[in-house]
Structure 1
Amino acid sequence: MSLVFEHSTLGQRVLFGSGKAASNLAAEVARTGAQRVMVIAAEFEAPIAAAVTRDIEVALNYDDVAPHVPIEKAEKARVAAAEHGIDLLVCIGGGSTTGLAKAVAMTSGLPIVAVPTTYAGSEATNVWGLTEAARKTTGVDDKVLPATVIYDAALTISLPIDLSVASGLNALAHCVDSMWAPRADPINQALAAEGIRALSAGLPTIKDNPDNLAGREQALYGAYLSAVAFASAGSGMHHKICHVLGGAYNLPHAQTHATVLPYVLAFNAPAAPEAAQRIAAAFGSEDSSGGLTLLRQRLDAPTALKNIGFAQENITEAVDLILPYIPESNPRPVDQESLTKLLQAAYSGATPEF
């Protein structure tokens, strides 16, 4: 059968090297000719930000960061950037920090240099997200794609094991969703498969030895691949569910993705056998869900939405909020009954069976 597909690859500079973040950032600032740099980093990451920016001149250090990028936080950061005449944004941290930088870039057009400290992957996508009145809105805009990403596995060592696991599984969810998202194609499926392989190799190493840079490099490499695949393939059923849950009920981003993933995989895999086979092969398993289950057990991953702040009485409302966003291209039709069953299982942590 002949191959027919349309694929877009986003243009982005990637600098990867453990212990090289500060020197790579200084080189990027010099290369761009930036004179007024705004560094965005959460307060708790201030020591990391100080180390990474030691060789550049900073016009504004900004730490008013919050999960899911509340619109008020975005507008405040936009004003600060304008008042200080900023010409380059440098974000150092996880998805919330990158998300705030994107919110500023979306209205200002300012370039971003992203320095991730987690495996969120937002740094490699042109997807933005904002939360207003407990509703999270996402969109796509090339203006928010960071011009450069600086990866340094040494910066992730301070990330606790449980957050490393959740963040890594969030990246793995990007890979799985990319197998059947609206713009899935053979190129992003290949990237996603390699991302699954790298993450499933790196995360157990981190679990066993948090200081092991080789494991963290594999996880960071896998996270990048997952994000590139996701940016090309688009947002599938898994991400639509998690974005609604996170925005409406203020659930922690990475843990929500880590918890919901096995349920979406179990739901979609029977209707997408070729994708499921690729996922299984990437895990080194005969079965996609079985491979994910073994990895999650190995990592002691989050298992139930009830443990991260989701209330059972919100399931009916959540189903109503999520259903309109499920892509028509999802491998298996989704209705109120099936989505309710999925959320009830994810809420309780029951074995995913569909």
Structure 2
Amino acid sequence: MDNFIYTSTPSRVIFGQGKVSTLPQEAEALGVSKCLILCTKFQIKEAEMLTKLLGDKAVGIFDNATMHTPISITDEALDLAKSLNADSVVSIGGGSTIGLGKAISFKTKLPHICIPTTYAGSEMTPILGQTVDGKKTTESHPDIKPNVVIYDVDLTMTLPVEMSMTSSVNAIAHAVEALYAPDTNPIIQLLAQDGVRALASALPEIKTNPLSIPARTKAQYGAWLCAICLGSTKMALHHKICHVLGGTFNLPHADTHTAVLPHALAFNAPATPRAMELLAEALPEGKGDAVKGMNILLEKLGMQMDLKRFGMKESDIEIGVQQTLSNAYSNPRKIEEGPIREMIRRCWAGEPAVQDL
């Protein structure tokens, strides 16, 4: 076995059906009593539920969390937190809300309790992605990670099927890159493999029966493992392309990851044989071929793979290429302009991934 370094970045995790009810106790354990609740305009009902749970420990709701965490929105929320003399933030929702909670917590050092309602996994990472002047930047620091994460399957039961699928494929992408990251290790690879396996098993059942508590629980568990992987290793080409396209063209985060994943996987497969073996074991329908196994899963889930339906223009492809090549992330296979251009074009058009770029 190769030598390796494994660094754990622990946070407190409460996992189980009905566990959102422990929120007041978690706030008390952190020593906070003036919680500002964060959500999007689509999850005000859930935020109001938390307000009732917290009682006089809740000082207000900020309901304008926005995709890709624009700095202007963070500033709005910071102003509200200051005016309410908040001593903590509680985020409920997906990556948009969790990202806002991270930004506020990192800037103010206020404790952050996070309650995810999707499978994207931002809650388990020390990574903050923000959009400044139409360009998405990322920052990594241990203090960015939420203090407490509460996983309650009941809060995922109304997540639309399509969003459940894209959010979960987003999570799978985290694990895939962790398998071949330059700083991966056997522990992370085990977590990545089991995370992919759990999601690949749960998602077809969720598509057929969205109200299956066992399937939803398994998906939440798998997403948690995949998120740990993302927070423990360096990101590669997949995430670079997603950050560029999502931040520059304001594309939906999870849908962008879904479109890019098979292309980035096929591109890197020849350079990462051991990672592909591990991934193939987690995707057995590919019969030993990880790329085939991923394609079978995406087809089974009925994923739409084109980005042009979100307003990305063909003329935007070249912009995406040049920004991807600028300050490129580490990657197991050499990044060259021609193949990157064809990958992004295929993502835009929704064409199948190919391995001979």
178-187 vs 287-296, which deviates more? 178-187
**For residues 248 and 278 of structure 1, what CA distance do their matches in structure 2 show?**
33
Amino acid at match of 1:77: A
Q: Which residue of 2 aligns with 1:243?
A: 243
Q: Structure 1 residue 324: deviation in Å?
A: 2.3
TM-score by length of 2: 0.96
1:333 aligns with 2:337: no
Aligned-residue Cα RMSD (Å) equals: 1.2
- Tell me which moved more, 253-262 or 309-318: 309-318
Partner of 2:187: 187
1:193–1:282 CA contact under 8 A, matched in 2: yes
- Equivalent residues of 2:157, 2:210 under 8 A apart: yes
- The TM-score normalised by the length of structure 1 is 0.96
What is aligned with 1:48?
46
Q: Secondary structure at the match of 1:322?
A: helix
Please state whether the residue corresponding to 2:262 is helix, strand or coil. Answer: helix
Matches within 5 A, 1:1-354: 2-21=1-20, 23-57=21-55, 58-284=58-284, 285=286, 286-328=288-330, 330-353=331-354, 354=356
Paired residues, number:
351
Deviations 1:279-338 (A, max 9, x none): 11011231111111111111111211222322111111111001123334x121111111
Contact 1:128 1:138 in 2 (8 A): yes
Maintained 8 Å contact 1:180/1:331: yes
Give the deviation of 1:50 after TM superposition.
2.3
Q: Is the 8 A contact 1:26 1:53 kept in 2?
A: no
Could you tell me how far apart the structure 2 residues matched to 1:75 and 1:212 are? 39
- State the SS of the aligned residue for 2:176: helix
CA contact (8 A) 1:70 1:130 kept: yes
Q: Quick one: distance in 2 between partners of 1:12 and 1:333?
A: 35
Deviation at 1:154, TM superposition (A): 1.2
1:141 deviates by: 1.6
Q: String of CA shifts for 1:75-97, please: whole Å, max 9, x gaps.
A: 11112212221111100000000
Distance in 2, matches of 1:331 and 1:265, equals: 11
Q: Contact between 2:178 and 2:229, CA under 8 Å: does it hold in 1?
A: yes
The answer as to whether partners of 1:90 and 1:112 remain within 8 angstroms in 2 is yes
Shift of 1:207: 0.3
Determine if contact 1:188/1:230 at 8 Å carries over to the other structure: no
The more displaced of 275-284 and 29-38 is 29-38
Q: CA deviation at 1:107?
A: 1.0
In 1: Cα distance, 2:80 partner to 2:278 partner: 46
Structure 1 residues without counterparts, runs of 5 or longer: none
